[in-house]
Chains A and B, each alone.
Chain A
Amino acid sequence: MSPAPPGRGAHVRAPPGRVGRLVLGLLLAALLAALAFAPFLFPGTRAMATASRIAIFVVLAASYDVLLGYAGIVSFAHTMFFGIGAYGVAIALARFTPGWGALVLGAAAGIGLSMLLAALIALLSLRVRAIFFSMLSLAVASVALTLASQLRDLTGGEDGLTFSVPAALSPGFRLLAHPVLGVRLDGRLLTYYLIFLVALGLFLFLLRVVNAPFGRVLQAIRENEFRAEALGYRVVLYRSLASAIAAGVAASAGVLMALLLRYNGPATTMSFAIMVDLLLMVVIGGMGTLYGAALGAALMVLAQYYLESLLQALAEAAAGLPLLAALFDPDRWLLWLGLIFVLIVYFFPAGLAGSLRLRAGEE
């Protein structure tokens, strides 16, 4: 009943920061350019693997943001769908003749199963209360992880499945005999661009979804479920659809992951460690913007790949100073990663993208 507290009102009323938006736009443009030209800008297997992972995790984090940031539901089963997509491809390519037919079949099966399962979890739990969705998703994800490690005949158990991809995507394939701009046009390159283009398409699709009338309804439900229902929106239906869309995209990201690694196992795509990473990506980047999820994913993957080497360099530079050298020991990279996260969450409570959008207006 009481009017909005003035402090909060003033904060929200601040005009969106132009500088912040510009910085955000530049960061995103840089990310897109870096990914689009990664094979030419950053040659080398490790750089390519990093770029592929970033593209995949941008999609995975963005699809998770549709749930967390737009629909306001906390799911612990998102990596399960990532895993189901990857297993779909892995099983199809390992069991049948590796070719485009098997790939498409496996991908379709994985994506279809994910969407069905997501809708089912949503329909069963959201009729009661949103918190049960979290609990049920956790339970289902645990079961799926156990099944993935136990059903050895189907999934390869803990060892996972190694498989061959269609010839054009295998490392030995040569499109042209001669390198172009110093880069060999081989199967690795084709795989990278397949991943990049599919990821880009999926990200644009998600942007479309959240900016469509459907996405607005999701935001309304997140803000005030009760009123959204009173306006005539079937809350359970909207949340179930959001959940199915997010699961389908996560499974598609899983398909890309399987293609990248030519291997899939429980620890690669289904583990709860990835689930935690995913939560961090979305929270650090900023919930409810999609762009934030993209930045968060890029930052997180880069840190996982390069923080250790950065510390190595720092430790060598500080070799003479006993305390610093010990602090920068490469083995402590996880400690530094944790510290960076704490600082980001402290200084950017709305996440990177969220804070950049508001910033300049407040100061």
Chain B
Amino acid sequence: MTPAPPALESEGLGIRFGGQVAVDDVSCAFHPGTLTAIVGPNGAGKTTYFNLLSGQLRASAGEVRLDGVTITRLPPSRRSRLGLGRAFQLTNLFPTLTVLENVRLAVQARAGIGLDVFSRAARLRALIERAHAVLAQVRLQTRAAVPAVALSHGDQRKLDIAILLALEPSVFLFDEPTAGMSVDEAPVVLDLIEQIKAARRATILLVEHKMDVVRRLADRVIVLHQGRLVADGAPEDVVASALVQEAYLGRQAGRG
């Protein structure tokens, strides 16, 4: 598709839990400026694949490369500092800290000043302004002083994405970003992802169940089934394939 070298690659990537192979020999490359949707039925290994890419799980086979550098053995914190940003399927915030503080921590991580013991955090204006700007992007600016736990579910998901935006990663991993969001809330998040995509610099991976979202955003779709990569191609082609119909869309139709 793109001649540019891949930003993120997995080669023969796999993990087994006991006797169970959760992700099996997945080789795939993701290029800057593209959005790849990862689909598959529940339990197909999509989130596990993300965990292997972002380092929450260590691979039992294969390699992960970020900008050509092998990161298979690096902890999540290192991968994050190298530009791999991950949003989580289950809301994953700092619950009793304020919304602003949640984002500020990400801005601070990006600036690499966490080990500063002597400045007054509350006085670091540049960081706070940047955090406010990111909050405005996800339209949470009026909620800055509220503890994260007091936000509605949809707002918590937005905050989760704001934290990711604040990290300014080169690769974004979104795990069902609109799950559990209301009809009003989901478009805000989808617009945000579209904006990131429109800048054409970032590499975006998106685990998503909703086919309309996949059609709207994805340049490419890969299908995982029982831990294996079973289809890879343009959204129209993949969605039409018999295998995907059977493995995935059948269930989707049953769901409603």
B113 CB-CB contact with A under 8 Å = yes
Chain B interface residues toward A at CB < 8 A? 54, 56, 75-78, 80-81, 86, 88, 90-97, 101, 104-106, 108-110, 113-122, 124, 146-147, 149-153, 156, 163, 167, 179-180
B117 touches A208 (CB 8 A): yes
A217 touches B120 (CB 8 A): no
A223 CB-CB contact with B under 8 Å = yes
B97 touches A219 (CB 8 A): yes
Q: Which of A227-263 contact B (CB under 8 A)?
A: 227-235, 238, 241, 245
Given A220-B97, A220-B105, A231-B121 contact (CB < 8 Å):
no
A45 CB-CB contact with B under 8 Å = no
A231 touches B80 (CB 8 A): yes
Select one of A211, A226, A228, A233 contacting B121, CB under 8 A: A211
A216 touches B105 (CB 8 A): yes
How far is B85's CA from A227's CA once the two chains are assembled, in angstroms? 11
Main SS class of interface, B: loop
The closest CB in chain A to the CB of B105 belongs to A220
A2 touches B153 (CB 8 A): yes
A12 touches B96 (CB 8 A): yes
The closest CB in chain A to the CB of B106 belongs to A231
The closest CB in chain B to the CB of A232 belongs to B80
A3-11, A137-145, A298-306 - interface stretch? A3-11
Additional A-B contact list (10), CB under 8 Å, known A217-B114, A231-B80, A232-B78: A1-B180, A208-B120, A212-B118, A213-B114, A216-B104, A223-B95, A227-B88, A231-B109, A231-B163, A234-B75
Count of A-B residue pairs with CB < 8 Å: 116
How far is B120's CA from A234's CA once the two chains are assembled, in angstroms? 21
B180 contacts which chain A residues (CB < 8 A)?
1
How far is B120's CA from A4's CA once the two chains are assembled, in angstroms? 31
Select one of B54, B77, B90, B118 contacting A234, CB under 8 A: B77
How far is B97's CA from A12's CA once the two chains are assembled, in angstroms? 10
A216 touches B121 (CB 8 A): yes
A208 CB to closest chain B CB (Å) equals 6
Select one of A1, A12, A214, A227 contacting B147, CB under 8 A: A12
A160 CB-CB contact with B under 8 Å = no
A214 touches B115 (CB 8 A): yes
Select one of A10, A209, A227 contacting B93, CB under 8 A: A227
- 9 interchain residue pairs of minimum CB distance: A232-B80, A223-B94, A9-B150, A3-B153, A231-B109, A232-B81, A232-B109, A12-B147, A213-B116
Select one of A4, A212, A231 contacting B116, CB under 8 A: A212
B179 contacts which chain A residues (CB < 8 A)?
1
Select one of A1, A220, A229, A233 contacting B90, CB under 8 A: A1
Select one of A213, A229, A245 contacting B77, CB under 8 A: A229
Given A1-B91, A230-B80, A208-B118 contact (CB < 8 Å):
yes
B77 contacts which chain A residues (CB < 8 A)?
229-235
B94 contacts which chain A residues (CB < 8 A)?
219-220, 223-224, 227-228
B85 CB to closest chain A CB (Å) equals 9
Select one of A4, A213, A219 contacting B149, CB under 8 A: A4
B101 contacts which chain A residues (CB < 8 A)?
216
Select one of A213, A223, A230 contacting B76, CB under 8 A: A230
B88 contacts which chain A residues (CB < 8 A)?
227, 230
A13 touches B147 (CB 8 A): yes
The closest CB in chain B to the CB of A214 belongs to B117
A20 contacts which chain B residues (CB < 8 A)?
none
How far is B75's CA from A10's CA once the two chains are assembled, in angstroms? 37
A106 CB-CB contact with B under 8 Å = no
B226 CB to closest chain A CB (Å) equals 25
A216 touches B150 (CB 8 A): no
B119 touches A212 (CB 8 A): yes
Select one of B93, B119, B152, B167 contacting A213, CB under 8 A: B119
Q: Which of A184-241 contact B (CB under 8 A)?
A: 208-209, 211-217, 219-220, 223-224, 226-235, 238, 241
How far is B213's CA from A251's CA once the two chains are assembled, in angstroms? 59
A215 contacts which chain B residues (CB < 8 A)?
121
The closest CB in chain B to the CB of A235 belongs to B77
Select one of A223, A231, A241 contacting B115, CB under 8 A: A241
How far is B91's CA from A3's CA once the two chains are assembled, in angstroms? 10
A230 touches B150 (CB 8 A): no
How far is B156's CA from A4's CA once the two chains are assembled, in angstroms? 10
A213 touches B150 (CB 8 A): no
A213 touches B147 (CB 8 A): no
How far is B230's CA from A44's CA once the two chains are assembled, in angstroms? 84
A211 contacts which chain B residues (CB < 8 A)?
120-122
How far is B179's CA from A63's CA once the two chains are assembled, in angstroms? 42
